[in-house]
Amino acid sequence: MSTAQELDRRGRRRQQTIDEILDVAVELMEAEGVAALSLSAVARKVGMQPPSLYQYFPSKMAIYDALFQRGAEQVLEAQRKARAEATTTDQRELGLVGITAFSRWCIQNQVLSQLLFWRTVPGFEPSPEAFAPAVDGLQDLRSYLEQSVAAGLLHPDAASDDGLALYTAMTAGVLSQQMANEPDATYENGRFTRLMPVILDMFYERYKPTRGKK
């Protein structure tokens, strides 16, 4: 076996171990709580000594950072895939497609959702690299709102920083209520997630094209 092949094999093996560590971390966070993650518990469940774990993650915050990036990449991919496969060109319908994909992912990945959208770990701040997919997601949202403005469906203020803040606060608020009160419900059956179409209607009403005109 050549040196390059050996290095490639080692790289794959290392990545497999990293993925296993992260999967185990999520399992433990589901059982014990996001902020209660223990490196020793992760090492035991993976089948290695804690010092060996440090070869992959030097600290608990490093594991949180890797999980933040994993979650941010997944939720971004879920929304982009849903919009790409949508059979409509109607802007409001595309908005609901995006919200639905986002909400379903959050409900199916509640541990990562807590890490991404609610500050459940004191002192944790994602690195710029881990946060980059989240920035891309916000830019996708701004682009969607700008397209709705260009189509004459929204006032230009909808694509402003305040517009994005209101949009994300409304959707995240509904999801927070859903996961706090009915964590086992599906998106379609959730008492709060069923309101997502209403949330979108409220946003469009708030930023209707005639806003501010008398």
**How far apart are the C-alpha atoms of 199 and 214, rounded to whole Å?**
25
The b/e string for 145-160 (b: 16+ C-beta within 10 A; e otherwise) is beebbeeebbbebbbe
pLDDT in tens, 35-74: 999 999 999 999 988 888 888 999 999 999 999 999 999 9
Domains of the chain in sequence order: 1-58 (1.10.10.60), 61-214 (1.10.357.10)
In this prediction, residue 214 has a pLDDT band, given cuts at 50, 70 and 90, of: low
pLDDT confidence of residue 211:
72
Question: Does residue 15 contact residue 25 with C-beta atoms inside 8 Å?
Answer: no
Predicted TM-score (pTM) of the model is 0.90
pLDDT confidence of residue 5:
57
The whole-angstrom distance between residue 17's C-alpha and the CA centroid of its chain comes to: 23
Amino acid type, 180: A
3-state class of 54 per DSSP?
Answer: coil
